[in-house]
Amino acid sequence: MESQSNYQMKAVNGDFGYVLEDVPHLTDYIADLPTYPNPLRSNSAYSVVKQYFVHVDDSVPQKIVVHRDTPRGVHFRRAGPRQKVYFSSDEVQACIVTCGGLCPGINTVIREIVHSLDYMYGVKDVLGIDGGFRGFYSKNTVTLTPKTTNDIHKRGGTILGTSRGGHDTMKIVDSIQDRGINQVYIIGGDGTQKGAAVIYEEIRRRNLKVAVAGIPKTIDNDIPVIDKSFGFDTAVEEAQRAINAAHVEAQSAENGIGVVKLMGRYSGYIAMYATLASRDVDCCLIPESPFYLKGKGGLFEYTEKKLKENGHMVIVIAEGAGQELLAAECQNAKNEQDASGNKLLEDVGFWLSERIKGHFAKLQKMPITLKYIDPTYMIRAIPSNASDNVNCTLLAQSAVHGAMAGYTGFTVGLVNGRHTYIPFNRINERRNKVVITDRMWARLLSSTSQPSFLGPKDAEKAETEQVPLTPMVDDGENHEGEKTGN
Ligand SMILES: Nc1ncnc2c1ncn2[C@@H]1O[C@H](COP(=O)(O)OP(=O)(O)O)[C@@H](O)[C@H]1O
Ligand SMILES: O=P(O)(O)OC[C@H]1O[C@](O)(COP(=O)(O)O)[C@@H](O)[C@@H]1O
Ligand SMILES: [Mg+2]
């Protein structure tokens, strides 16, 4: 096997097109590190498990659907406990930081990191960083113990606080060094994982024995490579309550329309899954699929048709959808960003509701009753559901096993149902988006019967790009964009 490495990724090539996109290890830049037998060897809960320890060569394929002659392709290192660890229990000074927007399950991840470090590895020193990245250099830390974190998974939000902006690499790494921290657990979304990558690089430049582990958090489910991010299931489930309310309101009025705005700045996964789950939604609008209001095949025409057929209609719109339409109409539209550099969006749900009301008022022959529901923060501020709690637990345990085993510069994530360590650059190179020429979006279109809104121009564009609008045969591609569907 040949291997080539840089700060972020070690690509190891094997036979039949096998590639391991490996994560860095402390021994890549620090020589002669001592090792210790994994304390789990004498842990009564785990010692009875046959093959509890992960084999050093275990890896997980990124592409699970293959043909007979397909090369073996990209693999990621399998997560889990190793026979040897690179930290003794009393040497570890860990810290946990949470950044970016809230998401159900953050507290569960915090709890499980603290509990796993203590109960599995005998680590007692765990610090919480207060209020996101800037907390490293502008606030005091909090001590985290199994006792103080025992029931935090029942609460929404993050007990540590979070923030956007404030990422100052030098100050953060100075603080890590000054406090003697040697394991850093960073819970956050795409922005946070970019921040984690530069922290890791600076730590490596300074030759510090500090493991940096990312745990991906995003309610938008827009982190690439991984199957699904924690909290997503909970959010989709909670969104059902808003959609149900919109449906009840719409059904109970003559020509009733319910409009629900859901999260999704750049990716419409929550809207798509909430729509597919509900069956009460007649139209789902997401950032990836441009739509138009007037004329043939437009939203107004479809709304009139639905009201005539059913007497009511439910529309789900992701907050990032239709922003270009809105900007074209509002002269004084702001082009602002939040402290992390994310685009600040106009309220597209309110805008759409007003435009629909205006259209039917002009028509005169069809009076409507429209109710607009914006449950955004209610959806992300709740505790995680049972399935996400288990998901969070396994992610936290995998992160702890990885750091104890000396891996660094990695994000832990589920790939094809297995926990893996993924190099930061793979997580940070792009954003996961709904692919509107893939099967999942086709399923949605077929379940709502909404128009595809692909005007002649879009169809032409798709044709010139040679993207099949409705693939009739299985092309065998495991499109990353449809990670949460197949
Ligand atoms: N490219 C980047 N490099 C370094 N830090 C970043 C970068 N992008 C975002 N961050 C930092 O990551 C944190 C969270 O980012 P944000 O975009 O708000 O949320 P999320 O991580 O959930 O996407 C913020 O403190 C922000 O300053
Ligand atoms: O109002 P805030 O706190 O900036 O959050 C709004 C944004 O947070 C999100 O939930 C996603 O945020 P993250 O990238 O931090 O996970 C978006 O859907 C939404 O646009
Ligand atoms: Mg983000």
Q: Which helix (H) or strand (E) holds 261?
A: strand 256-262
Are 161 and 273 part of one and the same domain?
no
The closest residue, in CA terms, to atom 25 on ligand 1 is 165
Please check whether residues 237 and 284 belong to one and the same domain: yes
Pocket lining: 265 vs ligand 2, CB cutoff 6 Å = yes
Q: What is the pLDDT of residue 483?
A: 52
Q: Which residues pair with 421 in a beta bridge?
A: 77, 412
Query: Would you say residue 475 lies in a domain?
Result: no
User: Given the CA of residue 193, which atom of ligand 1 is nearest to it?
Assistant: 21
- Indicate which CATH number applies to the domain containing 394: 3.40.50.450
Tell whether ligand 2 has an atom less than 6 A from the beta carbon of residue 319.
yes
Residue 218 Cβ < 6 Å to ligand 2: yes
List the structure tokens of 344. 């600040």
Same-domain status, 285 and 400: no
Q: What is the pLDDT of residue 332?
A: 67
SS percent in the chain: helix, strand, coil, step 5: 35, 20, 45
Are 265 and 191 in a shared domain?
no
Q: Are residues 160 and 217 in the same domain?
A: yes
* C-alpha 208 to ligand 3 mean position (Å): 28
Pick the ligand that lies closest to the CA of residue 219.
2
Co-location of 92 and 27 in the same domain: yes
Domain that holds residue 202: 10-227+384-428
The reported pLDDT for the residue numbered 37 is 95
DSSP state of 287: T
Q: What is the CATH number of the domain that holds 320?
A: 3.40.50.460
Tell me whether residue 190 is in a domain. Answer: yes
Asked if this assembly's ipTM is beyond 0.90, the reply is: yes
Query: Using a 6 Å cutoff on CB, does residue 222 contact ligand 2?
Result: no
Give the CA-trace dihedral at 144, 146, 150, 155, to 10 degrees. 30
Our CA angle for 78, 83, 88, nearest 5°, is 110
pLDDT tens for each residue of 402-425: 999 999 999 999 999 999 999 999
Three-class SS state of 106? helix
Same domain, 215 and 310: no
**Roughly what angle, to the nearest 10 degrees, separates helices 190-205 and 169-179?**
60
Question: What is the C-alpha to C-alpha distance for residues 378 and 453, in angstroms, rounded to an integer?
Answer: 30
Whether residues 389 and 375 share a domain: the answer is no
Per-residue pLDDT in tens (0 to 9) along the chain, 486 residues: 444 445 656 899 999 999 999 999 999 999 999 999 999 988 888 777 777 899 989 999 999 999 989 999 999 999 999 999 999 999 999 999 999 999 999 999 999 999 999 999 999 999 999 999 999 999 999 999 999 999 999 999 999 999 999 999 999 999 999 999 999 999 999 999 999 999 999 999 999 999 999 999 999 999 999 999 999 999 999 999 999 999 999 999 999 999 999 999 999 999 999 999 999 999 999 999 999 999 999 999 999 999 999 999 999 999 999 999 998 887 666 778 899 888 888 899 999 999 999 999 998 889 999 999 999 999 999 999 999 999 999 999 999 999 999 999 999 999 999 999 999 999 999 999 999 999 999 999 999 999 988 765 665 554 454 444 444 444 444 444 445 444
Structure token pair of residue 245 = 């309310």
220 Cβ inside 6 Å of ligand 2: yes
419 and 458 together in one domain: no
Do residues 317 and 376 make contact, with C-beta atoms less than 8 angstroms apart?
Answer: no
**Are 118 and 212 members of one domain?**
yes
121 part of a folded domain: yes
Ligand 1 atom 6: the closest Cα is on which residue? 195
Burial of 38 by CB count in 10 Å (0-12 exposed, 13-18 middle, 19+ buried)? Answer: buried
CA 396 – ligand 1 centroid, Å: 20
Does ligand 2 come within 6 angstroms of the Cβ of 192? no
- 273, 235 Cβ separation under 8 angstroms: no
Residue 1 lies inside a defined structural domain of this protein:
no
Query: How many structural domains does the chain have?
Result: 2
Q: Looking at the structure, do residues 328 and 395 belong to the same domain, yes or no?
A: no
CA of 199 to the centre of ligand 2 (A): 22
Model pLDDT, residue 457: 61
Which mutation among 376, 377, 434 tests ligand 2's pocket best, with the greatest number of atoms within 8 A of CB? 376
Distance CA 301, CA 309 (A): 12
Query: Ligand 1: residues whose CB is within 6 Å?
Result: 99-101, 132-133, 164-167, 188-192, 194-195, 198, 218, 340, 342
SS3 (DSSP) at 276? helix
Catalytic (active site) residue 220: yes
Q: Ligand 1, from 187, 340, 342: best to mutate by most atoms within 8 Å of Cβ?
A: 340
Inside any domain, residue 3: no
Q: Are strands 256-262 and 418-423 parallel, antiparallel or unpaired?
A: unpaired
- Cα 348 from chain centre: 22
**Domain assignment present for 80:** yes
Nearest residue (by CA) to ligand 1, atom 1, is 194
Assess if residue 440 is contained within a domain: no
Q: Are 467 and 481 within 8 A, CB to CB?
A: no
Claim to verify: residue 358 and residue 336 sit in the same structural domain: yes
Residue 254 alpha carbon to ligand 2 centre in Å: 35
In a domain, 79, yes or no: yes
